[in-house]
Amino acid sequence: MERKNSGQLSEHLGREKPYGLQRLLGRASWDADQVRDELIRYAADHLVGPGDRGVLIVDETGFLKKGEKSVGVQRQYSGMAGRIENCQIGVFLALSTSRGRALVDRALYLPASWCSDGPRCRRAGIPEDVTFATKPQLATKMLDHAFTAGLKPEFVLADEVYGNDSRFRRFLENRKQPFVVAVKSDQFLRASLRQRRVDQLAAEAPLDAWFRVSVGEGAKGPRVYDWLAARYGVATEKGHLRWLLVRRNIETGEQAYYLCVASRRTTARDLGVAAGRRWAIEVCFETAKQETGLDEYEVRSWAGWHRHITLSMLALAFLAVVRSAADSQERPRLKSATT
C-alpha cells in the first residue's frame, strides 16, 4: 500500500470498516514493550555476525501533526523539518552492521508542558509513573536496555543533542562502552591543565596533523573528509583513552567535532570511520517512513503510538533480514514469537 494507516490497509484487505486494525492499536491486549524485546533479539540473531558487533546509534525524528490532542504534540524544533513545527518527537535507537540496519527501540519525548498537565496526560492514556525525561535520559534508558539484552556494539554514536550531555557520556564510560559522539564547537574539555574550547584546540593544531580518509560510500561516491585526532586528559577508570576528533569538509572547510572514548588499540582512522556510520539511522528513518509506514499513523494515545511505531520497526527489521539473506543466499529463520 502507498500508505499504511488503518483505513487504507482495511480497504486493501477488503474490509468495510477499519475497526479491526484500530482495535489492534488501541484496545487489544498485547504489550508493545515485549514485542520490542523480541525485535532486539531478532535483529541481534540475524544482523550481528562473527567479528561484527556493529554500532548502536541514537537520534530523534519528528512526526508532523495537526491539533493538540496527539500525545506529546506541541510546537517544537523538528530536525526532519529543519524548523519549529507542531509535531511529536520520537527518540530512536538503531543497530547497524555489515549485514544491515534496523531500528530496535523507541521512546516518545514528552515535553514538560505535557508532564505538568495531569488531565491532559490521563486523556492521552499516559501511565502515571511516566515523568519528564530529557532526550539524553531517554537515550540512556534505551541503551541500558539494549546492553542488558546482550548487545555489545563496537561503538555508540550520537549527535550533539546527546554528546553535549556529560551524564550521557559518563553513563557510557561507566559501562566500558566505546563511543564517538558529536559536540558543539563551544564544548569545553580539559587540556594542558585548563578548560579549552574544542574549536580553539583544532585551530591550534599543526597542518601536518590532519589526514584524509574515506568513511564509506555515499550517494555520490566515497565520502572523503580531512580528519584531526588527538588524545586528551587521562585514561578512564576502565582504562579507555579519551580523544578529540575533528572532521573537516574538503570543499567548504566546515568542521564537526567529536568526543570519543575507545580502547587502547583503536586508531584515529577507526574513530573517523565510526563517526561516518551515524548516517545509517537517517537511512532507517527514510526507509521506515517510505516502506513500513513509520509516520503514517492515525492514533493519538500513548499506547497507540508505541504499538504502531513498534510494529513498523519490526517490519523494517524483517525487510533488513530478508535483504541480508538475499545477499548471502541464506534463508532467514523466523522465530514463532516474532511471527
pLDDT for the residue 335: 57
CA of 122: how far to CAs of 116, 118, 128, in Å?
Answer: 11, 6, 8
Domain boundaries, the chain: 31-328
Q: Rounded to 10 degrees, what is the CA torsion of 105, 84, 249, 288?
A: 30
**DSSP 3-state assignment of 21?**
helix
Write out the three cell numbers for 239: 582504562
Contact 265, 239 (CB under 8 A): no
pLDDT for the residue 18: 87
pLDDT for the residue 339: 42
Q: Rounded to 10 degrees, what is the CA torsion of 111, 77, 249, 200?
A: -60
Rounded to two decimals, the pTM is: 0.92
Contact 83, 62 (CB under 8 A): no
pLDDT for the residue 9: 87
Q: 31-328 has which CATH code?
A: 3.90.350.10
- Phi, psi at 119, each rounded to 5°: -60, -40
pLDDT for the residue 61: 96
Give the up-direction half-sphere exposure of residue 230: CA atoms within 13 A in the CB hemisphere: 20
Mean pLDDT by 10 residues, the chain (339 residues): 83 88 91 98 94 95 93 90 91 96 98 95 95 97 97 97 96 96 93 83 89 79 89 82 94 95 93 94 96 92 96 97 83 51
- The CA distance from 145 to 123, in Å, is 28
Q: Taking phi first (over 0 means left), then psi (-120 to 50 degrees means alpha), and beta for anything else, what does residue 150 get?
A: left
- Phi, psi at 334, each rounded to 5°: -100, 130
pLDDT for the residue 82: 81
pLDDT for the residue 1: 76
DSSP 49: B
With a CB cutoff of 8 Å and minimum separation 6, the contacts of 48 are: 54, 95, 97, 99, 151
